[in-house]
Amino acid sequence: MSDAAQPTAAEVRAAAEAVKTALDRHLAAVERRSGEDDPAVYEAFNQLAAAAEAYDELLYDRYDEVTPFEIPGADDSLPPYTGPEEPSALSVLIRRDYAVAEPQRLLAQARRVEAADASADADGGETVNGALGILFGEFEPDEIATRHKEFGLEEGDSTLWVIATDEPPEPGEWLAAPFDAVDPQRVVCRFDVSAVFDEDLDDGPDDADPDSDELEEDELDLDEDEDEDLEPLDAER
């Protein structure tokens, strides 16, 4: 970065003062909080995060130095709930990510469904896209989630949001854009599954039995041998 583009020492000092002010406001909001999801605390938290981030950036640009703080941004958490206390209706939003780890297994399982269903598209199981259409059309998403390895899929992140609504929507009302206009302040609860949550566990001390690794490897080899023979799928829901 050129000297002309660098922030001045006064700008860095002003950013530091802004952090101090935001800290005082955050503490005051916490001391006056009216409940677990007090919007004043939420707003003060976001202001503190923004001030700390601005100071950190200016400090680095001016002095090539960083702060020891890591404050999560506002996007890392949901805003306070503002929906009804007793919802009369709800929407459940689910996202599950998969990697197509074994395309041949996926295609083979789709062909088995085709063979058992005379009305199925005879050419659907010849491409990955076609196979996915057959399998997700034949099996419930929850069943695929529990049997994903049988379909040649590898699990990624997943999330489930339960959202309060005032009343059930009209049939077909949101089908054209099912995930638009989601109000995060009406999320009653959410459940996330991700490998990132296991990182801290991986960094911890290894208290396991020294022989446990060998046992797990043996079990893994057994599973891989069993996978060589694809058993016919029960296509009934």
Q: Helix, strand, or coil here: 196?
A: helix
C-alpha closest to that of 79 among 37, 48, 50, 29: 37
State pLDDT tens for residues 1-15: 445 578 999 999 999
pLDDT confidence of residue 138: 93
**In the sheet where 89-100 sits, what is the strand order?**
89-100, 153-165, 187-193
Q: How far apart are CA 70 and CA 152, in angstroms?
A: 39
Per-residue pLDDT band at 39 (split at 50, 70, 90): confident
The pLDDT score that the predictor gives to residue 201 is 53
Calculate mean pLDDT across residues 201-229. Answer: 46
Do 167 and 89 contact (CB within 8 A), yes or no? yes
**pLDDT > 90 in the chain, percent:** 46
Across the range 157-168, mean pLDDT stands at 91
pLDDT at res. 194: 86
> pLDDT for 52-69, tens place per residue?
989 999 999 999 998 887
Q: How far apart are CA 123 and CA 92, in angstroms?
A: 34
Q: Is the pTM of this model over 0.85?
A: no
Listed range (39-48, 102-111, 201-210) with the worst mean pLDDT: 201-210
- Counting residues of the chain whose pLDDT is more than 70, the rounded percentage is 74
- Which residues neighbour 46 within 8 Å (Cβ) at sequence distance 6 or greater? 74
| pLDDT confidence bin for 123, thresholds 50/70/90 | low
